[in-house]
Structure formats: C-alpha cells, structure tokens
Amino acid sequence: MTDKTILVIGTYDTKDDELGFLAGVIRDQGGRVITMDVSVLGDPSQPTDYSKHDVAEEGGSSIAAAVASGEENVAMQIMAKGAALLTARLYLEGKFDGMIVLGGTMGTDLALDVTAALPLGVPKYIVSTVAYSPLVPGARMAADVQMILWAGGLYGMNSVCKATLSQAAGAVLGAARAVIKPEFNKPLIGMTSLGTSALKYMITLKPALEARGYEVVVFHATGMGGRAFENLAAQGMFACVFDFCTQELGNHINGSSVSAGPDRLTNAGLSGTPQIVAPGCYDLVDLVGWEPVPEKWHNHPQRPHNRLLLNVILNQDERKMVAHAHAKQLATAKGPTVLLLPEHGLGEWDREGADLHDPEALAQFLTDLEAALPQNVQAHRIGCHINDATFVEKALEVFDGWRADGLVG
C-alpha cells in the first residue's frame, strides 16, 4: 500500500496534544503527516511544517496585524484566508493527498474556508465540536466534505476524545488511500431530481445522455443536494444542466429550512452553462418532518413522506410566488436557457387519479410562469407529464440541437 501524506491543520497553541495524537495515529497506520498551525497568540510545543506566520503571510497579512486587531473574529478571518490559500497551493504542488482540520467554532469557521478551497475528490475532513449543528451553514460546505462530531473535544485529552480522533485519523488516511478521483475525461452533465416515487425522467434520460458520450451526475434536490449542484455549477463544471426539480427554490422563498440557498437556479446561468429547466414538484414545500409544523401551514394539506420529510401543498397565491421566483432567477442567465412546461403534471403525485391532481391549478401556474418569463428564456409547452417518455424526448431534442449548433461540447 502506497503511503499517503495527510495535512493536519489546527490551532497548535490550544490543541497541541490533540493534534499531536491525531498525527501520531496517522503515522502509526503508515501514513505521512505535514502540519499547519493556524494559531494567533501562542506557539506549538514543537515547530510545525507551516507556521502561523507562513499562514498569515500567505493571505497578505501578518500575525502582528491579527493581534493588533484585538478581535478574535478578525484575527481568525486573517488566518482563514491564509490557510485556504496555502492549502490550495500546497495541493497543487503535490505536497499532500488528504487533509483534516480540528477545531471548535473558531476552527470550524476556518475549516469551512479551507475545505472549500480544494477540488472535488480530495479527501477533506473536519473534526468539530459543532459538526451537524445549525451553526454550520450548508452554503459554506464543500460538495464532498466529511464532518466528524468531536465528542469530548472541548479541552484536553481523554479516552472519549481519543476514540473520536483515532477514528478520524483512520478515516482521512483510508480515504486518501481509497479515493478514486473524478477524471472528467467525459463532459459532465448535472441533473436534479427527487426519488423515483416522485420523478422518474432520469431512469431513461441518464443512459440516453451516457450513450451520447456524457457523464451524468444526479443531485437529490432536498437542500444539500441542491447546494452541491449550485456549488459545482458556479465553478463551470457542467457542459449542460438538466435542472428538472427546482422545488428547493419554492422551499427557500417560503421560509423552509430545507433550502439550497437564495442562489438556487442561478449559478449555471451565471456561468454561461446551457440549461434546460422544468419546475418539477413546484406545488410542494418540504419541511423537517420531526419539527412542529409552523402555524402558517396549519390550514394547508400535508403529505408525510417519511419521518424526516413532510410535504406541504401550496395554495394558488403561493404557487404564483414560486412562478415569479423562477422567472427572477432565470433572468440572470448568460447562457442558453430553455424552460420545459409539461401540461399534464410535474410530479408523480399530481397525475390524473393521484391525490395531488389539480389540472386547473397547474394550468394557472404555467400561465403565471410564462407571463413572468424574461426574454432570455425560451419556453416550450409539452402535452405530457414530466415522467412521460415525451418529456425526455423533448429534453433530448433541445440538447441535441445545442450540440449540433456547437453550444454544448
């Protein structure tokens, strides 16, 4: 087994023992370690490979400036900027294979910037006392970051802390040894959807696109999936997107915490990526199933999906808000944009005979959406359901036309 090098980052003035233990376990398992200190006030017991001065200077500042600020938040942002830039440079220079950051709230704040600076496929771990908590904003999480809850990690070593850190050491080293990094030797297509009980187009669309020589990545549009999709779209990773489940936009404007953020349905367009869009499951808002239902939804029909997820059915005024939100987001697009509007339904649950079937409400939504569309969006009404073969055929017709015109590589 080829040894791998792990970059270990943390505040060595306050977490020296913990970071040393973590590095020791990695070395005991045959891995190599390089260390980076992101402290401000104190110093480590032994020199690190990259000192706090190296970190601050990489970001165009200094430890003296961080100290002089007199503010922990300002000082840590100086270190976060430097650590992110230094980590990115070291990776490009081939200095490490995976990285791990240790911290409380300060260290986690910095870690989010550092992990976001690395490309997809680089093992990136955050061991945090606040992992999975509401303090960690989904919008700042790298698409493939791994988080580990640091039990008993607030201050000093103990047996509980060692159990967590030893597993974290094994996780990052194992990931560095096992990872199959994306090669991107085929053009990449990003697609959004829900599970096949609601949306089924990817079952036939994915193999059809693969037969054309593309790799297809399908994102689960339940908040974090949409964030990952938007993150990669903003980087220009996709040759084209098939964004057929935009329900997260409705979630966001209706105040649900199951949100992909305010930039949902914008980043592909802003990067100039050709996009084919359909407002899949436009009539639903997702809520956290185990939380009390907010009062604003008490008079709305509800559909429990499972113990984690509750669907609320929107009324006509709320659907009109969703229509206008689509138009507003798509207006920012700089690349080719086509909106497909199936006239027979936008989710398996609104088919004729299903419990959410409401043809009058659907017709009004499509009318509202078309009326609000900016000139840069080309709309196509289709006499079918979003899960019908005709929908897939129309999407491929648009895509193949773009290929023929050289708009999609």
Q: What is the pLDDT of residue 183?
A: 86
Residue 409 domain-assigned (yes or no): no
What is the per-residue pLDDT across 66-118, written as a single tens digit (0 to 9) for each?
Answer: 999 999 999 999 999 999 999 999 999 999 999 999 999 999 999 999 999 99
State the sign of the Cα–Cα–Cα–Cα dihedral 172, 177, 178, 182: positive
pLDDT-derived band at 152, boundaries 50, 70, 90: confident
Is residue 177 pLDDT above 60, yes or no?
A: yes
* Residues 257 and 394 reside in one and the same domain: yes
- Residue pair 23/8 in contact (Cβ under 8 Å)? The answer is yes
Domain containing residue 132: CATH number: 3.40.50.12020
Q: What is the pLDDT of residue 156?
A: 85
Which helix (H) or strand (E) is 208 found in, with range?
helix 202-211
Pair of tokens at residue 242 = 């098939």
What is the per-residue pLDDT across 238-280, written as a single tens digit (0 to 9) for each?
Answer: 999 999 999 999 999 999 999 999 999 999 999 999 999 999 9
Domain containing residue 330: CATH number: 3.40.50.12030
* Residues 366 and 303 reside in one and the same domain: yes
Residue 60 domain-assigned (yes or no): yes
Q: What is the pLDDT of residue 66?
A: 96
Q: What is the pLDDT of residue 331?
A: 98
Q: What is the pLDDT of residue 398?
A: 98
Residue 247 domain-assigned (yes or no): yes
In sequence order, what DSSP letters do the residues of 254-312 get, joined into one string? Answer: TT-SS---TTTTTHHHHTT--EEE--TTTTEEEEETTSPPPGGGTTS-EEE-SSSEEEE
Pair of tokens at residue 294 = 């907010």
Q: What is the pLDDT of residue 2?
A: 63
What is the per-residue pLDDT across 292-312, written as a single tens digit (0 to 9) for each?
Answer: 999 999 999 999 999 999 999
Q: Give the domain extent around 350.
A: 188-404
What is the per-residue pLDDT across 389-404, written as a single tens digit (0 to 9) for each?
Answer: 999 999 999 999 999 9
Pair of tokens at residue 192 = 């959004």
- Which residue's entry shows tokens 């009326």? 371
In sequence order, what DSSP letters do the residues of 135-188 get, joined into one string? Answer: TS-GGGS-TT-EEEE-TT-SSS--HHHHHHHHHHHHHHHHHHHH-------S-E
How far apart (Å, rounded) are the C-alpha atoms in residues 338 and 394? Answer: 11
Q: Which of 218, 230, 10, 212 is nearest to 102 (CA)?
A: 10
What is the per-residue pLDDT across 105-137, written as a single tens digit (0 to 9) for each?
Answer: 999 999 999 999 999 999 999 999 999 988 998
The total of structural domains in the chain comes to 2
Residue 87 domain-assigned (yes or no): yes
* Residues 87 and 217 reside in one and the same domain: no
Residue 183 domain-assigned (yes or no): no
* Residues 114 and 233 reside in one and the same domain: no
* Residues 319 and 245 reside in one and the same domain: yes
Please report how many Cα atoms fall inside a 13 Å half-sphere around the Cα of residue 76, on the Cβ side: 17
Mean of per-residue pLDDT scores for the chain: 95
Backbone angles phi, psi at 34, to 5 degrees: -120, 150
pLDDT-derived band at 318, boundaries 50, 70, 90: very high
pLDDT-derived band at 149, boundaries 50, 70, 90: very high
Residue 237 domain-assigned (yes or no): yes
How far apart (Å, rounded) are the C-alpha atoms in residues 131 and 126? Answer: 8
